[in-house]
Amino acid sequence: MSRKYFGTDGIRGTVGEEPLTAEFALRLASAAARVLAPDGGTVAIGKDTRVSGYMFESALEAGFVAAGMDVMLLGPVPTPAIAYLTRSLGADLGVVISASHNQYQDNGIKFFDRQGRKLSDEIEEKIETNLLEPAITRPSESLGRASRVDTARNQYQWFAMSSVPQDMRLEDMKIALDCSNGAAYKVAPRVLADLGADLIPIGCSPNGKNINMDCGSNHPELLQATVTATGADLGIALDGDGDRLLMVDHEGNLLDGDQLLFILANARHKEGVLAGPIVGTLMSNLGLEKALGDLGIEFMRAKVGDRYVLELLQENDGVLGGETSGHLICLDKTTTGDGLISALQVLTVICQSGLKLTELAAKMPKYPQALVNVRVAGKMDLNSKSVQASVQSVEHQLGDCGRVVLRASGTEPVVRVMVEGEDAMQVETLAGEIADAVSSAAA
């Protein structure tokens, strides 16, 4: 069965359009309860700062309570906090209401199992099958109850603090922090302030509609300007639900997920505590692969999506992986991608090494990449003759010094074209050629 609703990171779309309606959310809760907790149990529900989060929270609460499940409402907390709290509170599943890095007009729903891990494709397919059934409403004596967990944010804050050495302090460090007006707007500043950092917060004033708007990891320009204007030592950019991380060095240069992953891998390798391979994705920079290879560290590529990075890590007993976009997974610290905890791990390396962020990143050369998003009306055949002819032509021109990645996005109606090579102008031109071929084939 091919999944109709679930993409690479849960169900996502425009609020008010199928499937992102209150009625669908209620049925989804009922279907998830059938599959994951048929005999009742407890579900933890958290959300980001979108105005539509209240609506979906209420609809999901109704669906789960009607199906006989107790509901713990966590309020606005980062996605990785929900993964942690699902485990620590003993819930049978966790639910996140968020569209991650998308604008406020979108929203989404995704699940964690009782271990705080994302669901497998097979489980998501079972939930979709159960969506065909009417929503459950049990008799009064079998209904669940709902309650709010007022300590959720504090519990996650303590967990994040526990991921760094007890004696680590940031008193000598000025840090600009951009929380994207999203779910981490309270907890991230509190953690860094408690560690003693001289903090410059931006993107920490959500109003329900400004999440990811000209700020955060999607738009780091504000953070880059803030770092250079204030003389900060570095900048930290999270996305709307707090699971992505980008950083800015003291010169205003942006560091992506590949560079941050290299910094963490190199440090753990030097300490002799690195286990298994490093896992990236098809989009990971060739420079990361080569830099790790020079250190004798195995590198593997998963499909795009942090859930697939996680699966490959678990299959190969690895602990570090991530995506260029900033989804970093540190399995020696937590169970899922966590922007705040990843930032704390990089800060730990800085404190222990005495090196600046720019010095740590300099050891990984980046190959020029060109990424073009081609908007399409629906699913299209990427194996069409015209598209494949263009791809083969570009691959021939690149030879052994570059790569081509062509894939349909799992979260947006776009086809992503990525060309990587040694010459920046060449890869821009070649990516444009493939994008034109895709656009023509989609017309």
Give the residue numbers marked as catalytic: 100
Rounded distance between C-alpha atoms, residue 131 and residue 207, angstroms: 33
Rounded distance between C-alpha atoms, residue 428 and residue 112, angstroms: 39
Contact yes or no for 357/350 (Cβ under 8 A):
yes
Which region holds residue 90: left if phi is over 0, alpha if psi is between -120 and 50, else beta? Answer: left
Q: Which of 89, 102, 131 is nearest to 9 (CA)?
A: 102
What is the dihedral sign for C-alpha 356, 360, 365, 369? negative
* Token pair 């071929």 in the structure block, residue: 437
Q: Angle 79-88/339-353 helices, nearest 10 degrees?
A: 100
Residue type, 24: F
Q: Which of 212, 215, 214 is nearest to 201 (CA)?
A: 215
Write out the two tokens for 242.
């707090």
Cα separation values, 291 from 100, 258, 338, Å = 30, 11, 24
Q: Which of 226, 164, 224 is nearest to 196 (CA)?
A: 164
